[in-house]
Amino acid sequence: MTSRERVRATLAHREPDRVPIDFGATTVTGMHCLAVERLRAYYGLERRPVKVHVPYNMLGLVENDLADTMGLDIAGVLPRNTVYGYPNENWKEFRTPWGQVVLISGHFQHTTDANGDLLTYPMGDPTAPPSGRMPPSSFFFDTIIRQRTIDEDRLDPADNLEEFGPLSEADLAHFKAGIAAAAGTGRAVIVAVGGTGFGDIAWVPAPGLRHPRGIRDITEWYVSLVARQDYVREVFARQCEIAMTRLQQLHAAVGDAVDIVYLCGTDFGTQTSRFCSLETFDALWAPHYRRMNAWIHANTGWKTMKHTCGAVASLLPRLIDVGFDVFNPVQCSAAGMEPHALKETYGERLVFYGGGVNTQRTLPFGTPAEVRAEVLERCRIFARGGGYIFNAIHCVQANTPVENVVAMLDAVKEFNGAA
């Protein structure tokens, strides 16, 4: 099988010739730029600065030479603008606080405060208040909350939608070129159109807006899910209209060159439980998820992916009911997320995308032998009968030993060779 045939068979719940693999195709299946640099060096690939294409958590671009070496089966296309509101273009060198020289968008601007924290700015505008902070000991940015005083009598749902809108001509040109390039690799194509994630905490504080309005404090937003449900319901309803327009624009531009569309990264779980009741999910999210999925399935050949970390086994029937095809990152380390039970209960209705190794413990702190054993066990469980795309549980972090990353990849190849 080609990579695309392999992924399409998997998405159809048919067992492919081998388990397909992704690293780097989305913002939730990527690798930190330091991990990418070390992996390139391990494999003896050309030494050159890694492109940081997701500055929010400093993910490194997995270029085609590395993707070929790793045996990856999926290529991804992200929205034109990063979370900080500017496109990746006019790449320039940047020395990170940990000493790595990377390439980053020419729009990226930063300063250093009195504590030594690195500050970055929305739309690359240093005259605006900074929207991201990287402490000296960190390897990614934390969002700076810039909440204005809330006037309960003047809350306007439009204020929480300022960053969303129909795709521009520049956006469409970006997607057309990116999807054509991704398809040209022979890999399956996954696309994040943007604007389809309702209440995603990465976006609520609006790190890409100079002066965000509305409810932009994360704690206040969670309070609003209970105390201001009418307001949140209106925000989501208006955002869904925008999202539907964007999806229709994308399909008109690229058709079925896309295999998977990554719709939403809103998290609904913690390590031990959901932090959203099923009733709240049904009231606020379900109608809009159902509408987007229904249109996609009626009008395109795309499959749809939902990302949510945490202990969300009890939410999976809802995700299936509203039409999602693919579930990521399959956090098997969370309570109630036992791999055998997930596969047995939902394996015929959901494609599992992730879950391959614990990125909180085993991958960063285990031995290569422990990594190999866990990966082989997860592949044995999830790959049975198809419906499984290998990835770690969320992104590979900065100081993960390269030997462990290689052990992970080698274990998948070992499983595939024996399958």
Q: How far is CA 385 from the centre of its chain?
A: 26
**What's the rounded Cα separation, in Å, for the pair 18 and 6?**
7
At 294-336, the pLDDT tens digits run: 999 999 999 999 999 999 999 999 999 999 999 999 999 999 9
pLDDT at 275: 87
At 331-367, the pLDDT tens digits run: 999 999 999 999 999 999 999 999 999 999 999 999 9
Query: Which residues lie below 8 Å from residue 208, measured CB to CB, with a gap of 6+?
Result: 81, 82, 83, 84, 85, 86, 122, 123, 131, 163
Q: Where are the beta strands (DSSP E) in 32-100?
A: 52-54, 59-60, 74-77, 92-95
User: Could you tell me if 122 and 84 are in contact, meaning their C-beta atoms sit under 8 angstroms apart?
Assistant: yes
**What's the rounded Cα separation, in Å, for the pair 213 and 142?**
19
**What's the rounded Cα separation, in Å, for the pair 340 and 358?**
16
Band (pLDDT 50/70/90 cuts) for residue 419 is low
Mean pLDDT of the chain, nearest integer = 97
**The total number of residues written for the chain in this structure:** 419
CA–CA distances in Å: residue 296 to residues 102, 291, 302, 366: 38, 9, 7, 41
Average pLDDT estimate for 146-154:
95
pLDDT at 418: 64
**What's the rounded Cα separation, in Å, for the pair 29 and 329?**
8
At 240-298, the pLDDT tens digits run: 999 999 999 999 999 999 999 999 999 999 999 998 899 999 999 999 999 999 999 99
Q: How far is CA 213 from the centre of its chain?
A: 25
Average pLDDT estimate for 110-135:
98
pLDDT at 50: 98
CA–CA distances in Å: residue 141 to residues 224, 315, 403: 25, 30, 26
Q: Which domains does the chain have, with CATH numbers?
A: 3-45+63-80+155-418 (3.20.20.210)
Q: CA 360, 364, 369: angle at the middle one, nearest 5?
A: 115
